[in-house]
Amino acid sequence: MKAPICNVCLKSDVLCSKCEENHENGKVTDLDIKVSRILHGLSDEHGSLRDSTIEKVYDTENVVVIVTGPGDGAKVVGRRGEIVKKVAEEIGKPIRIVEKSEEDKEIIKGLLSPAEIESVNTVFKPEGQSKKIVVDGSYEDKVNMSREELQKLIQNITETDYELAFE
């Protein structure tokens, strides 16, 4: 399993010097470490996790978002959601799995689920262009994150600024 920390640190209670340095400078968070170790512990029981990649873990007010490598989302969810349920129990929050993708729209779809994206537009402003995601307004209460949290997550994962609009 590939994780934000090395394989030695996945199996240990302490971090090696390189992982400790990444932790101190903010590249790796406590939640990255905790979720990675939980998933590594479950990999003995669930072989699908052994060849999966955990890119990053984000904490929001209501949900924990785990970003996996491309094609690894289903491996982390497990059959009938059994793996993700165990992780959610240990973390104490619901989990949302999002696969890393070359297409920003796929990542955004994963974060906004069950809402569907109506459009992604380029907006031209005097200070430059920006991107705007338009989602049906009826879904605003169904997505268990605030608009600000979603925009920040989308920016962190895609490395692009998007404005989110529920219309």
Concatenating the DSSP letter of every residue in 18-37 gives HHHHHHHTTSS-HHHHHHHH
Picking from 144, 136, 103, 139, the residue whose alpha carbon sits closest to that of residue 119 is 136
pLDDT at 63: 93
The domain 101-167 is placed in CATH, from the list 3.40.50.720, 3.40.50.2300, 3.30.300.20, 3.30.1380.10, at: 3.30.300.20
Instruction: Identify the CATH assignment for 1-100 out of 3.40.50.300, 3.30.300.20, 3.20.20.370, 3.40.50.2300.
Output: 3.30.300.20
pLDDT of residue 152: 93
- pTM of the full structure: 0.90
Q: Given this model, what pLDDT does residue 31 score? A: 96
Model confidence pLDDT, tens digit, residues 9-18: 999 999 999 9
Q: What is the pLDDT of residues 82-98, one digit of tens each?
A: 999 999 999 999 999 99
Q: What percent of the chain has pLDDT over 70?
A: 100
